[in-house]
């Protein structure tokens, strides 16, 4: 929601309108994340999550396929991956690992980023498909 | 052999986990309250490299559900490793199929259960024995402990006996009362218990493991010819369990120096009245027995440890021959049975005995209902009646079926422990400070101590009560502090909300955190408190911890100051020692965060002595006043006044059974959250109209629906109170109208997201946070807005854009979610878009707790009385539950269509009605069309049916009018549900083709049970059950759903 308010509205509206099963996966900051700036910045944190590539916005609507269009639409812009590690460090759920197991944390955070890139690469391939 | 005593201040879960760790090689786990922390301890200790009896760390695997945990445990046992799990309630129910298997295959698994209520008319996370009584037929042995010390002393019996007997064990103790009660206890270690393992039996277990070197088959299908005989073949193992357990109980008794048996007797040798019970209540019964014996009464107790197999021989040997009257207490309910399980076992045991006592049974303590000595006294008094009541209840007033025994005054025992009670605000640090205090006292003195913490269901800013006891003897009071020596009220506002001095002992002490000075206190203290203080000669202290915290720079963290004041006032340990220890703890907790925070907290400790003693005028005793009366909103509906307000005032325990007449199925009214008006934010937003661009983003992101745009027409503007500033509303549809952003001061949680999102204009932000005290007057403007300003949502397309969406009235408001919750803005938005025709199936979790914790329901109705209909079934079945709701509604809508077709075919329908029917059939899946048609058809059909009672089609259609409108079916839950426990069902529902909508509020962690890792948790995140960082890649649920 915080990353793109209109996209949230659009996704919910389209999901509800679809005459069949639909699912909306909504990124939700939680006190369990330990936002360094506090829960008052939950919306800003969502924005940061999408900007850095931690979370991606997309919609998949099978109705488009029937119209001969690509049902997969990638809504978020190309992330700024340089912000990714800082994003992690702004949440206690990640930063506490850095305190406890500093060396392993660096390794694991690299994997976190690679996983996010891997997901995005998949989305990009889908978005680039021709119908 | 006298062993050097080693003390540990811990709760029951830690004690159970401590023992389980020693005997486990593998543990397959899944979070559920109140058992989760057992598994968390095991996971943390494994991450930290703690060694079990075998010199290794425990291999811990979190599974997708309890069914999965039970399956993995079964497999690990077949592979030849000693395996354990930890669960409760619905989790234990999910393990039942595998429990039969593990028992049937004679595998030595151990299930540690912090026994909890089951979801029936409502969910409850609290303690009773409904779950363990639902597994007594599985073939697992059931072994019970009743206190934190008993857990430590006897939990090993379950592991040791399982190894030796081959029968799996359930070790259970009371959820919360034992699992979460902190006590100072004696500790056992690896070297104490390792020698007790039957190495031969263990070797044989390893030998039997599945092994391709010497392969066998297990789990075959058997037919009528042999299944029965093969099942009976295992009897020999069960026949040996009792002797094996008895032997181990004896060995452990010798080791710890406390005498235990399969059944323990406590009381007069020649008791004529005896209670039989299991679990923590036995401690409170022992206290009551001491009291009654001192009065010359002959009473006793048999507490049960080994419940299955039930040894009638040992049981009868434990009951004194003099017992003429027996009351059996069951902490469960079995509707339709001739009695609860323990009662039936006891009666059956006496069937072949020559003794013929009168035996009655009763229920107590469901869902952690506090069971006090006064209630136990009522049980003994019942036994003294010529015809004691059978099937009785205690602790409640049953004015419907009259099962309850008469209520007695609470007993205050002489020479009992020092009792203290602290009222705090959720997340204000009171509970944490008290946990800290109990460690300080436990670790630095010879005193025994006990702590128990009670919370409401609010995620933050809720009510907390800390119940602490200290004494020179082990503490057996397994109930709340009802007659405290010391009460501290950490929140000034509570004086009017709750009866804070209730039960405070004569000559006791009352500490109030207040911003008032002595004179103001004398003016402002409520009459009921004044009278109580004077009448009972209470020593009264005040401290302005709120002010001091502000001065030091600790914000609203008053906890350390008040903790220090507590130590100084009570002198429970020498104050200098307390100060030293508090500072030591501060360094330990905050040391890593820097010197500044340490220094501030140290200053807080030093300022704890800044309290003032207030002389209580004797004439206060003569004040004429009602007993404590809870405040309420005057124009609240009857249900809210009768039921919701008492619960919010912490007096729900006093509500009789008849309160729920007509609501026996658990039905609750929507919209009750609006009557709470908690006012717990310290800062709230204030609107700066001149900077506002009317974008409505503040309302869009508000997790609490506590800031909204209102649009006023001319009439409404004329009625507006003075100072109700408004802007000219932008947009041509609002021509001539005014616009105002209104904050609901008392329901705001002060999270700051609205201020953070506000774009403002070139002059700055249109919202800013100010102390709540400055904004109390603004609440009247809110009241005016919601009462007098009609919604203008029909003037705009509310689904067109973010701004318009916020002109729709939220039908989800003021939930008990955390301040700043990331989930509720989505839930609220959906209620704005589809609420008046929305049906919600809600998975158990944060969403279900903040959407439906009695007495607060945030889902509400619009001006037509329409709104979301909401229901929660379980955690694991939510997708299926929602699908079923949709299938059911559509089945009845199919009937409407069939009936309409048949009537049309009949050819006698007026033309205009026929057209409407045809339109409905053609547009039955359009909400907009069906709403229009329903508004026309509903009165027509009802009138027709009334006028033509013999027309079957008319009668049926008139009965189905509430299905005319197309519904918006939502299935809502978190990632624990969608990615893990409910994934199979979700997958099925997504493949079903049915028109249902799923919302997954994805926090990438099990938020409700305290933050355990899920398959949504990304690599590197630290969560419970992932203490060393998550290692497995986050699952891409969205991608799976598209295929």
Contacts of A34 in chain B (CB under 8 A): none
Question: With an 8 Å Cβ cutoff, are B755 and A40 in contact?
Answer: yes
Which residue in the set A29, A32, A94 is minimally distant from B1011, CB to CB?
Answer: A32
Mean pLDDT, range B90-99, rounded to an integer: 98
Interface test with B, best of A1, A29, A30, A112 (most B CBs within 10 A): A30
Q: Is the minimum CB–CB distance between B47 and chain A shorter than 8 Å?
A: no
Are B1005 and A26 in contact (CB < 8 Å)? no
The beta-carbon neighbor of A40 closest among B753, B826, B925 is B753
State whether residue B887 sits within 8 Å of chain A by CB: no
Give yes or no for B752 touching A (CB within 8 A). yes
Tell me which chain B residues have a C-beta less than 8 angstroms from the C-beta of A28. 821-823, 826, 1001-1003
- Looking at residue B630, its pLDDT comes to 54
Chain A from 88 to 127: CB within 8 A of any B CB: 88, 93-94, 96-97, 99-101, 104-105, 108-109, 111-112, 115-116, 119, 122
Active site residue B66: yes
How much is the pLDDT for B629?
Answer: 58
pLDDT digits (tens, 9 = 90+) for B884-935: 999 999 999 999 999 999 999 999 899 999 999 999 999 999 999 999 999 9
Rounded Cα gap, residues B865 and B437, in angstroms: 51
With beta carbons under 8 A apart, name residues in chain B contacting A52: none
For residues B336-358, give the mean pLDDT: 96
Q: Hey, which residues 971-1000 in chain B have their CB within 8 Å of chain A? A: 978, 986, 989-1000
Residue whose tokens read 């994805």: B1002
Q: State whether residue B229 is helix, strand or coil.
A: helix
Select the residue of A6, A30, A38 nearest B1005 (Cβ to Cβ): A30
Residue of chain A with shortest Cα separation from B970: A16
Catalytic residue among B13, B37, B105, B116: B116
Closest CA to B334 of B371, B310, B362, B376: B362
User: pLDDT at position B1, please?
Assistant: 43
Tell me which chain B residue has its CA closest to the CA of residue A25: B1000
CB contact under 8 A, B1031 and A41: no
User: In chain A, which residue's Cα lies nearest the Cα of B805?
Assistant: A9
Which member of A22, A94, A96 has the closest CB to residue B998?
A22
Q: Please give the distance of CA B227 from its chain centroid, rounded to a whole number.
A: 43
Residue in B997, B1007, B1015, B1028 to test binding to A, most A beta-carbons within 10 Å: B997
pLDDT tens-digit profile of A45-99?
Answer: 999 999 999 999 999 999 999 999 999 999 999 999 999 999 999 999 999 999 8
Confirm or reject contact between B751 and chain A (CB < 8 A): yes
Contact B821 A28 (CB under 8 A): yes
State yes or no: is B239 an active-site residue: no
- Tell me which residue in A9, A40, A72 faces B756 most closely, judged by beta carbons: A40
Catalytic residue among B602, B824, B844, B1008: B1008
Q: Please state the pTM of the whole predicted model.
A: 0.95
Q: Does B1029 touch chain A (CB under 8 A)?
A: yes
Structure tokens at B1017: 């948790």
Task: Please tell me which of the candidates B993, B1029, B1039 has its beta carbon nearest to residue A122.
Answer: B1039
Instruction: Indicate whether B636 pLDDT > 80.
Output: yes
Q: Which residues of A touch B991 (CB under 8 A)?
A: 21
The C-alpha atoms of residue A91 and residue A109 are separated, in whole angstroms, by: 12
Q: Which of B9, B13, B26, B33 is catalytic?
A: B33
- Short-list B745, B768, B744, B779, CA closest to B691: B768
Count how many residues are written for chain A: 131
Burial class (CB within 10 angstroms; exposed 0-12, middle 13-18, buried 19+) of B396: buried
Q: For A43, which of B757, B818, B1042 is closest by C-beta distance?
A: B757
CA distance B893 to chain A (A): 16
Nearest residue to B1025 via CA among B57, B17, B83, B36: B36
> Does residue B174 carry a pLDDT above 60?
yes
Kindly report, residue by residue over B366-421, the tens digit of the pLDDT.
999 999 999 999 999 999 999 999 999 999 999 999 999 999 998 888 888 999 99
Number of inter-chain CB pairs under 8 A, A vs B: 193
Let me know: does B148 contact B15? Beta carbons within 8 Å: yes
Could you tell me whether strands B306-308 and B141-144 are parallel, antiparallel, or unpaired per DSSP bridges? antiparallel
pLDDT tens column, B195-252: 999 999 999 999 999 999 999 999 999 999 999 999 999 999 999 999 999 999 999 9
E runs forming strands in B163-259: 169-174, 182-186
Asked whether the predicted pLDDT for residue B853 surpasses 80, the reply is yes
Position with higher pLDDT, B678 vs B706 = B706
Q: Which of A7, A17, A42 to mutate to test the interface with B (most CBs of B within 10 A)?
A: A42
> Is B599 a known active-site residue?
no
pLDDT at B631 over 60: no
Three-state DSSP state, B284: helix
Interstrand relation of B110-115 and B169-174 (parallel, antiparallel or unpaired): parallel
pLDDT band at B183 (very low <50, low <70, confident <90, very high): very high
Gap between the Cα atoms of B933 and B900, Å rounded = 13
Catalytic annotation on B857? no
44-83 in A: which are within 8 Å (CB) of B?
A: 44, 46, 58, 60, 71-72
Q: Above 80 in pLDDT, residue B314?
A: yes
Q: Using one digit for the tens of pLDDT, what is the confidence trace for B778-832?
A: 999 999 999 999 999 999 999 999 999 999 999 999 999 999 999 999 999 999 9
Residue B188 reports pLDDT greater than 70: yes
Query: Six-digit token pair at B1043?
Result: 């295929």
pLDDT average, residue stretch B80-98: 98
Q: According to the model, what pLDDT value does residue B497 have?
A: 87
- A interface mutation test: which of B593, B697, B822, B1032 has the most A CBs within 10 A? B822
Task: Name the residue of chain A whose CA is nearest to B1000's CA.
Answer: A25
Residue A40: list chain B partners with CB under 8 A: 751-753, 755-756, 820
pLDDT for B1026 equals: 86
Report pLDDT digits (tens) over B719-740. 999 999 999 999 999 999 999 9
pLDDT class for B680, splitting at 50, 70, 90? confident
Strand ranges of the sheet holding B539-543, from the earlier edge strand across to the other edge: B7-11, B182-186, B448-455, B463-471, B418-425, B486-489, B509-513, B539-543, B612-614
Closest residue in chain A to residue B994, using alpha carbons only: A20
Q: Has residue B82 got a pLDDT over 50? A: yes
Q: Which of B978, B1022, B1031 sits opposite A96 (nearest CB)?
A: B1022
Tell me what the pLDDT averaged over chain B comes to.
95
Average pLDDT over residues B281-307: 97
Instruction: With H, G, I as helix, E, B as strand and everything else as coil, classify residue B102.
Output: helix
Nearest Cα to B442, choosing from B571, B561, B573?
B573
Q: Nearest by CB to A101, which of B755, B820, B1028?
A: B1028
Contact B995 A12 (CB under 8 A): no
Task: Return the beta strands (E) in B160-228 as ranges.
Answer: 169-174, 182-186
> Please, are residues A49 and A3 in contact by the beta-carbon 8 Å criterion?
yes
Lowest-confidence pick of A83-97, A106-120, B443-457, B525-539: B443-457
More confident position, B984 or B550: B984
Bridge partner list, B421: B467, B487
Taking the C-alpha atoms of residue B930 and residue B922, their distance in angstroms, rounded to an integer, is: 10
Could you give the CA distance from residue B224 to residue B233 in angstroms, rounded to a whole number?
A: 15
Query: pLDDT (tens digit, 9 = 90+) per residue, B488-513?
Result: 999 998 998 899 999 999 999 999 99
Phi first, then psi: what are they for B770, rounded to 5°? -135, 160
pLDDT band at B555 (very low <50, low <70, confident <90, very high): confident
**A101, B925: Cβ pair inside 8 Å?**
no
Question: Taking CB atoms and an 8 Å cutoff, what residues of chain A touch B823?
Answer: 26, 28, 30
Q: For residue range B256-277, what is the model confidence (pLDDT) as tens digits?
A: 999 999 999 999 999 999 999 9
ipTM of the complex: 0.98
Which tokens in the block code for residue B670?
Answer: 């929507």
| Tokens, residue B896 | 């409407």
Q: A76 vs chain B: nearest CA distance in angstroms?
A: 15
Q: Tell whether A6 lies on the interface with B, counting CB pairs under 8 A.
A: yes
- For residue B99, pLDDT over 90 is answered with yes
* Cross-strand bridge partners of residue B614: B540
Residues of A in contact with B1028 (CB under 8 A): 97, 100-101, 104
């Amino acid at each position: 929601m915080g990353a793109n308010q209109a996209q949230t509205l659009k996704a919910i509206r389209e999901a509800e309108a679809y005459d069949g099963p639909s699912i909306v996966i909504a990124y939700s900051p939680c006190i369990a994340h330990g936002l360094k700036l506090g829960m008052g910045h939950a919306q800003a944190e969502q924005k940061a999550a999408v900007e850095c590539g931690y979370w991606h916005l997309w919609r998949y609507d099978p109705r488009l396929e029937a119209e001969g269009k690509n049902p997969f639409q990638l809504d978020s812009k190309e992330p700024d991956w340089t912000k990714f590690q800082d994003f992690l460090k702004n949440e206690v759920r990640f930063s506490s690992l850095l305190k406890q197991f500093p060396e392993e944390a660096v390794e694991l955070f690299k994997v976190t980023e690679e996983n996010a890139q891997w997901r995005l690469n998949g989305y990009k391939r889908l978005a680039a498909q021709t119908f | 052999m006298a062993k050097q005593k080693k003390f540990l201040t811990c709760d029951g879960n830690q004690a159970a986990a401590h023992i389980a760790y020693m005997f486990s090689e593998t543990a397959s786990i899944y979070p559920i309250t109140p058992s989760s922390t057992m598994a968390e301890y095991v996971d943390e200790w494994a991450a930290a490299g703690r060694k079990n009896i075998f010199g290794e760390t425990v291999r811990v695997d979190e599974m997708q559900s309890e069914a999965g945990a039970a399956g993995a445990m079964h497999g690990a046992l077949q592979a030849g490793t000693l395996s354990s799990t930890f669960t409760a309630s619905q989790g234990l129910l999910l393990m039942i199929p595998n429990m039969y298997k593990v028992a049937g295959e004679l595998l030595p698994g151990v299930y540690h259960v912090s026994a909890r209520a089951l979801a029936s008319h409502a969910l409850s996370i609290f303690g009773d024995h409904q779950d363990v009584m639902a597994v007594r037929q599985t073939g697992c042995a059931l072994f019970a402990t009743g206190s934190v010390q008993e857990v430590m002393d006897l939990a090993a019996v379950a592991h040791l006996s399982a190894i030796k007997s081959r029968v799996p064990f359930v070790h259970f103790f009371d959820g919360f009362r034992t699992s979460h009660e902190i006590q100072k206890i004696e500790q056992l270690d690896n070297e104490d218990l390792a020698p007790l393992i039957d190495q031969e039996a263990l070797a044989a277990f390893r030998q039997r493991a599945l092994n391709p070197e010497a392969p066998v088959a297990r789990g075959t299908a058997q037919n009528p010819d042999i299944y029965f005989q093969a099942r009976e073949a295992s009897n020999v193992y069960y026949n040996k369990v009792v002797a094996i357990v008895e032997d181990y109980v004896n060995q452990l008794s010798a080791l710890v120096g406390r005498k235990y048996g399969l059944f323990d007797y406590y009381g007069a040798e020649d008791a004529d009245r005896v209670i039989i019970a299991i679990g923590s209540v036995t401690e409170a019964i022992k206290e009551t027995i001491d009291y009654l014996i001192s009065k010359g009464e002959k009473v006793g107790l048999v507490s049960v440890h080994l419940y299955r197999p039930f040894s009638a021989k040992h049981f009868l040997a434990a009951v004194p021959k003099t017992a003429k009257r027996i009351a059996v207490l069951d902490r469960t309910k079995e509707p339709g049975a001739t009695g609860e399980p323990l009662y039936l076992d006891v009666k059956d045991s006496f069937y072949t005995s020559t003794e013929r006592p009168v035996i009655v049974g009763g229920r107590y303590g469901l869902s952690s209902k506090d069971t006090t000595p006064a209630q136990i006294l009522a049980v003994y008094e019942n036994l003294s009646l010529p015809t004691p009541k059978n099937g009785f209840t205690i602790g409640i007033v049953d004015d419907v079926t009259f099962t309850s025994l008469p209520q007695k005054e609470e007993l205050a025992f002489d020479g009992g422990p020092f009792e203290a009670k602290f009222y705090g605000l959720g997340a204000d640090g009171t509970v944490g400070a008290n946990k800290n205090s109990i460690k300080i006292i436990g670790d630095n003195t010879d005193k025994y101590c006990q702590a128990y913490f009670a919370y409401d269901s609010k995620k933050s800013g809720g009510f907390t009560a800390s119940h602490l006891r200290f004494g020179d003897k082990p503490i057996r009071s397994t109930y709340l502090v009802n007659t405290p020596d010391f009460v501290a009220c950490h929140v000034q506002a509570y004086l009017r909300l709750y009866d804070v001095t209730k039960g405070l002992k004569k000559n006791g002490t009352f500490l109030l955190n207040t911003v008032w000075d002595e004179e103001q206190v004398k003016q402002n203290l409520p009459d009921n408190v004044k009278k109580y203080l004077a009448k009972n000669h209470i020593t009264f202290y005040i401290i302005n911890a709120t002010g001091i915290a502000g001065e030091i720079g600790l914000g609203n963290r008053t906890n350390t100051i008040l903790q220090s004041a507590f130590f100084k006032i009570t002198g429970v340990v020498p104050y200098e020692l307390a100060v030293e220890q508090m500072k030591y703890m501060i360094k330990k907790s905050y040391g890593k965060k820097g010197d500044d925070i340490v220094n501030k907290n140290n200053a807080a400790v030093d300022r704890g002595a800044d309290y003032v003693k207030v002389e209580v005028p004797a004439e206060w005793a003569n004040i004429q006043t009602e007993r404590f009366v809870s405040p309420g909103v005057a124009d609240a509906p009857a249900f809210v006044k009768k039921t919701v307000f008492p619960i919010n005032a912490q007096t729900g325990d006093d509500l009789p059974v008849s309160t729920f007449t007509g609501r026996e199925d658990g039905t609750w009214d929507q919209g009750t959250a609006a009557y709470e008006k908690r006012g717990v934010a310290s800062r709230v937003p204030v609107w700066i109209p001149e900077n506002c661009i009317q974008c409505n983003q503040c309302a869009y992101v508000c997790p609490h629906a506590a800031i909204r745009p209102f649009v006023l027409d001319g009439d409404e503007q004329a009625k507006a109170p003075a100072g109700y500033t408004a802007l000219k509303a932008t947009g041509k549809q609002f021509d001539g109208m005014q616009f105002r952003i209104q904050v609901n001061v008392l329901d705001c949680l002060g999270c700051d997201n609205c201020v953070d999102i506000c774009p403002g204009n070139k002059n700055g932000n249109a919202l800013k946070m100010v102390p709540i005290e400055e904004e109390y007057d603004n609440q009247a403007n809110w009241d005016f807005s919601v009462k007098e300003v009609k919604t203008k949502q029909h003037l705009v397309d509310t689904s067109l854009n973010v701004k318009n969406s916020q002109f729709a009235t939220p039908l989800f408001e003021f939930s008990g979610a955390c301040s700043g919750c990331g989930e509720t803005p989505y839930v609220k938005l959906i209620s704005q878009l589809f609420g008046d025709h929305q049906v919600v199936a809600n998975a158990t979790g944060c969403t279900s707790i903040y959407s439906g914790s009695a007495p607060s329901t945030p889902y509400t109705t619009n001006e037509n009385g329409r709104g979301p209909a909401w229901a929660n079934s379980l955690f694991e079945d939510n997708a299926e539950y929602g699908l079923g709701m949709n299938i059911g509604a559509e089945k009845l809508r199919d009937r409407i269509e069939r009936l309409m077709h048949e009537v049309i075919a009949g050819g006698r329908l007026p033309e205009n009605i026929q057209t409407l029917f045809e339109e409905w059939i053609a547009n039955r899946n359009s909400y907009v069309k069906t709403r229009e048609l329903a508004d026309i058809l509903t009165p027509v059909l009802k009138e027709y049916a009334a006028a033509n009672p013999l027309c079957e089609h008319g009668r049926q259609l008139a009965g189905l009018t509430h299905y005319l409108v197309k519904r918006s079916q939502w299935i809502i839950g978190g990632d624990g549900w969608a990615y893990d426990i409910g994934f199979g069902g979700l997958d099925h529902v997504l493949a079903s083709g049915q028109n249902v909508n799923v919302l997954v509020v994805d926090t990438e962690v099990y938020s409700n049970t305290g933050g355990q890792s899920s398959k949504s948790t990304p690599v590197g995140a630290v969560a419970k059950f992932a203490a060393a960082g998550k290692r497995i890649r986050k699952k891409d649920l969205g991608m799976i759903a598209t295929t």
